[in-house]
Amino acid sequence: MTDAVLHVTGVCRSYGSVHAVDDVAFTLAAGGSLGIVGESGSGKTTTARIVVGLERADAGQVVVRGRERTGRARGRAARLARAREVQMVFQDPYLSLDPRVSVDTALRETLRLHFPEADHSRRLAELLDQVGLGTRAAGALPRQLSGGQRQRVAIARALAVEPAVLVLDEAVAALDVSVQAQILNLLADIREETGIGYLFITHDLGVVRCVTDDVIVMRQGRIVESGGTAQVLTEPQHPYTRLLLESVPHIGWDPRAIAAARRAL
């Protein structure tokens, strides 16, 4: 856990006059779990997309396992190698899978692309077992699966390439609360077994509290607070972090406290 698998330094991204990400920097330890929280428009998803490579930064660096990946990868082999470093699980399990393709085919396509010489049948069985599905799900189409099962397939597909970092962009937000807990427990088990690093993008402070070691809080493209998850959520230093915490509904919550926190920003 002492070695860093991901370094993000001075990353910026603008759309016209809007600074979506402004001088963002953080480190993810190997086998660690880091949460990025903030309201819609805070820049957290843009940051995630830059880390994965779905968007290019205007400035700054993203380094994974000591290899800089901000610039354009040249050649098929380089692009595949970069894709294996960081994978992403998206929010909506109903849109992330091709409805015409079975679970078996979806996973085999990924394995054939990245590991053409491997024993795909053996690896397929390992992946399904790893995400708690079993081989009976292999022949199913997405429409025959529940939302939680689909998200397990999406996680298996991401894990198939053995990434160093898994980015989870609101990966449990579309699921029922009980299913959320199952997926979060699954992710915790996978991290313990494999030593993969997690980057959680979420607005849900309950998720952050449960599954991350460290957290950064973003507002209007900038990091306003960071530190150990327990410390930040227990003793927030920035008014915006306090506002996020006050905004979480709980028994006896007082809307006047939210108004007071917002005035302090």
CATH number of the domain residue 70 falls in: 3.40.50.300
Same domain (yes/no): 131, 256: no
Same domain (yes/no): 157, 101: yes
The token duo for 121 is 């049948």
- Which residues, other chains included, contact 25 with Cβ-Cβ below 8 Å and sequence gap of 6+? 8, 9, 10, 11, 60, 223
**Residue the block writes with tokens 């599905």:** 133
Using an 8 Å Cβ cutoff, are 195 and 188 in contact?
A: no
Phi and psi, residue 264, nearest 5°: -80, -15
Predicted confidence at residue 264, as pLDDT, reads 52
Predicted confidence at residue 257, as pLDDT, reads 44
Using an 8 Å Cβ cutoff, are 86 and 169 in contact?
A: no
Same domain (yes/no): 46, 143: yes
Predicted confidence at residue 178, as pLDDT, reads 86
Q: What percent of the chain has pLDDT over 70?
A: 92
pLDDT tens column, 17-70: 999 999 999 999 999 999 999 999 999 999 999 999 999 999 999 999 998 987
Predicted confidence at residue 203, as pLDDT, reads 87
Same domain (yes/no): 242, 158: no
Same domain (yes/no): 146, 244: no
Predicted confidence at residue 22, as pLDDT, reads 97
Total number of domains in the chain: 2
Query: What's the rounded mean pLDDT across residues 88-107?
Result: 90
Same domain (yes/no): 159, 241: no
pLDDT tens column, 198-251: 999 998 888 899 899 999 999 999 999 999 999 999 999 999 999 998 877 543
Query: Structural domain of residue 246, as residue ranges?
Result: 235-265
Is residue 127 scored above 90 in pLDDT? yes
C-alpha 37: how far from chain center: 11
Same domain (yes/no): 164, 253: no
Predicted confidence at residue 206, as pLDDT, reads 85
Same domain (yes/no): 239, 121: no
Same domain (yes/no): 139, 205: yes
Read off the pLDDT band of 263 (50, 70, 90). Answer: low
Same domain (yes/no): 33, 101: yes
Is residue 197 scored above 70 in pLDDT? yes
Read off the pLDDT band of 75 (50, 70, 90). Answer: confident
Long-range contacts of 151-154 (CB under 8 A, 24+ apart): 151/89, 151/93, 151/175, 151/183, 152/183, 152/186, 153/93, 153/97, 153/103, 153/106, 153/107, 154/89, 154/90, 154/93, 154/96, 154/97
The whole-angstrom separation of Cα 90 and Cα 82 is 18
Predicted confidence at residue 3, as pLDDT, reads 81
Is residue 258 scored above 50 in pLDDT? no
Query: What's the rounded mean pLDDT across residues 126-145?
Result: 93
Read off the pLDDT band of 182 (50, 70, 90). Answer: very high
Same domain (yes/no): 228, 250: no
- Mean pLDDT score across all residues of the chain: 89
Read off the pLDDT band of 146 (50, 70, 90). Answer: very high
Is residue 150 scored above 50 in pLDDT? yes
CA distances from 82 to 113, 170, 176 (A): 13, 23, 33
Same domain (yes/no): 60, 184: yes
Prediction pTM value: 0.89
Predicted confidence at residue 59, as pLDDT, reads 96
Q: What percent of the chain has pLDDT over 90?
A: 71
**Alpha helices (runs of H) in the chain, residue ranges in sequence order:** 44-52, 76-85, 103-114, 120-130, 147-159, 177-194, 205-211, 229-234, 239-246, 255-263
